[in-house]
Structure formats: C-alpha cells, structure tokens
C-alpha cells in the first residue's frame, strides 16, 4: 500500500513537472515563432512614427526605455523601503510581537491586491493633488505594488537564517545593527530572488502604469513626462485588426521576454558568486 502511494505521488510530481515545463516551452515557442520574424533594428532603435499602430514605420524604443526606467526605478526604491521594514520586524521588534505579526499580515493582504487597484489608487491621489500622468507617478505606483512582494519574500529568507547566528553575534557583544548586517549577508541569494520576482511583476504590469505613467510616443527626458511601457505597447498593437501590427506585438513580447531572461541569468550568476562568501 505504501509503495503504491509512493508511486502515485511520484507519477503526479513527474506529470506536474512535465506540464509546467511544457507550458513554459509552449509560451516561449508561441512568442518567439511569431515575434522573431518581425524583429528589426528599426523596431528597437526608433520611436513610433505617425501611424505606427496602423502599420506604418517606426519602432518601440520609447516603450523599451520607459519600461527600463519604471522597472529599475521602482525596484530600487522598493528595496530602499523594504529592507528596513524587514530588518525592523526581525531584529528590532520582539519575536512574534503583535506589531511584527500585524505587519506581516498587512503585507500578505497587500500582496494579493490586483495591480489595477494600485493603479486606481495612484490615479485617485493624482487627481486629488492635481497631478498628471508621468514617469515619476508610474515609478511610485509600481513601487507600492512590489513592496509587499519584496517585504514578504525577504522576510521569509531572513527568518530561515539560523537563530544561533544572531545569538552568536549578541554573545560577542555585537549590536542589533551588526546583527542586521550579518542576516542580510546570509540572505543575499534569497534577496536576489525577491528582486527577480518584483522585477518580473514590475516590468510585466500594464494596468498599474496605464493610469499613472500614461503612454507616449516619445522618450521621457524628465520625471514629470509620461512614459510608454512594453506591456501597454503590446496591448495596443494586439488590439489592432492589422496582421502586421499584431506581429509587431509579438516582436515586442519577444523583446520583453529577452530582457527578463537576461536579468534572470545575470541575477543567478551574481547570486552564485555572492553565495561563495556565505556560511
């Protein structure tokens, strides 16, 4: 009986692995097979010309640059906010204190809120303050969206670090600040994974930036100008009835996928190299 149960669960695990791997392969195949043929140097090096979304010339450089600005800006800003929160609830607050538990519960709830809600919230604040869509508004709104991801992911990693390590620091006369540095150093691989999760969420979101960053055919030169993003560019092109424009959408999706793959590979390499110095 036990052998039968083991074989059943083994089969289910193998089947699940095959399904997930096949799904990933199918997604990549669909995107690349339809997008590679429409890729060109002009597409990634030029901004849209008049009538680009009805089949005329130009490219999506504006969306590429806009996505890079918003994604890197929000990820950096999110880290600056998230790490102090994690350090406080794990080092400075009492273990399993009410404040720490409420903080974790709050971020669990925020984690599950759809991005469209963050976009609507950001838009409401902008209307109240009399602001217009801009790169800065997009960065701030996306930052609010990814902070729960960063906080909960980094928090889980820090909590996995053996408590004996913190006790050892205290026994040697170390301060809480020094303990925090040790915990962060031991958590670097997990922090990089958290950054990847937030990066993927930020660069692939369309609803959140639609209300706050807007869309433009130009490359923003300041924080108060609207910014285009790749997800919105893909959406607008897929909405076109013209086949050529739809193929460009898949080309844009190919570029977006390549960016994510490059960042993921670079992060994995960095994580592997940094892990050599971890106990």
CATH for 67: 1.10.3720.10
Residues 16 and 57 in one domain: no
Residues 150 and 248 in one domain: yes
List Cβ neighbours of 122 (8 Å cut-off, separation of 6 or more).
137, 140, 141, 144, 208, 211, 212
Residue closest to 84 by CA, chosen among 158, 145, 140: 158
Residues 53 and 20 in one domain: no
Residue 278 scores a pLDDT above 70: no
Q: Where residue 84 falls among pLDDT bands split at 50, 70, 90?
A: very high
Q: Residues 18-69: pLDDT tens digits?
A: 999 999 899 888 888 888 888 888 888 888 887 777 777 788 999 999 999 9
Would you state the pLDDT for residue 143?
94
Does residue 279 form part of some domain? no
The CA distance from 28 to 34, in Å, is 10
Residues 23 and 58 in one domain: no
Does residue 278 form part of some domain? no
Residues 103 and 53 in one domain: yes
pTM: 0.86
Residues 246 and 222 in one domain: yes
Would you state the pLDDT for residue 58?
81
Residues 180 and 264 in one domain: yes
Q: Residues 233-254: pLDDT tens digits?
A: 998 888 888 888 888 889 999 9
Which pair of tokens denotes residue 172?
């040697």
Residues 79 and 7 in one domain: no
The CA distance from 236 to 120, in Å, is 20
Residues 25 and 49 in one domain: no
List Cβ neighbours of 272 (8 Å cut-off, separation of 6 or more).
none
Residues 194 and 147 in one domain: yes
The CA distance from 82 to 60, in Å, is 32
Residues 24 and 124 in one domain: no
DSSP state of 36: G
Q: How many domains does the chain have?
A: 2
Residues 29 and 135 in one domain: no
List Cβ neighbours of 173 (8 Å cut-off, separation of 6 or more).
none
Which pair of tokens denotes residue 246?
């739809």
**127: domain range?**
44-273
List Cβ neighbours of 57 (8 Å cut-off, separation of 6 or more).
42, 46, 49
The CA distance from 169 to 147, in Å, is 29
Q: Residues 105-145: pLDDT tens digits?
A: 999 898 888 888 998 898 888 888 888 889 999 999 999 99
């Amino acid at each position: 009986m036990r052998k039968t149960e083991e074989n059943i669960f083994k089969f289910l695990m193998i089947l699940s692995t095959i399904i997930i791997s096949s799904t990933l392969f199918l997604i990549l195949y669909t995107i690349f097979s339809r997008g590679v043929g429409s890729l060109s140097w002009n597409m990634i090096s030029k901004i849209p010309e008049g009538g680009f979304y009805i089949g005329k010339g130009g490219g999506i450089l504006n969306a590429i640059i806009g996505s890079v600005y918003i994604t890197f800006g929000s990820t950096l800003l999110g880290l600056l906010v998230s790490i102090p929160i994690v350090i406080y609830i794990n080092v400075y607050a009492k273990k399993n204190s009410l404040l720490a538990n409420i903080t974790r519960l709050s971020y669990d709830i925020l984690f599950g809120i759809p991005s469209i809600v963050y976009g609507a919230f950001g838009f409401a604040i902008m209307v109240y303050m009399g602001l217009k869509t801009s790169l800065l508004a997009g960065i701030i709104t996306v930052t609010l969206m990814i902070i729960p991801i960063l906080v909960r992911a980094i928090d889980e990693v820090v909590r996995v670090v053996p408590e004996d390590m913190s006790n050892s620091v205290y026994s040697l006369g170390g301060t809480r600040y020094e303990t925090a540095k040790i915990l962060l150093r031991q958590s670097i691989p997990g922090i990089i994974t958290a950054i990847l999760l937030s990066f993927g969420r930020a660069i692939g979101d369309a609803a959140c930036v639609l209300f706050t960053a807007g869309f433009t055919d130009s490359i923003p030169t300041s924080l108060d100008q609207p910014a285009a993003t790749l997800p919105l560019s893909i959406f607008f092109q897929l909405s076109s009835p013209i086949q050529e424009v739809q193929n460009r959408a898949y080309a844009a999706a190919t570029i977006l996928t390549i960016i994510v793959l490059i960042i993921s590979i670079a992060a994995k390499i960095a994580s592997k190299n940094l892990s050599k110095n971890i106990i």
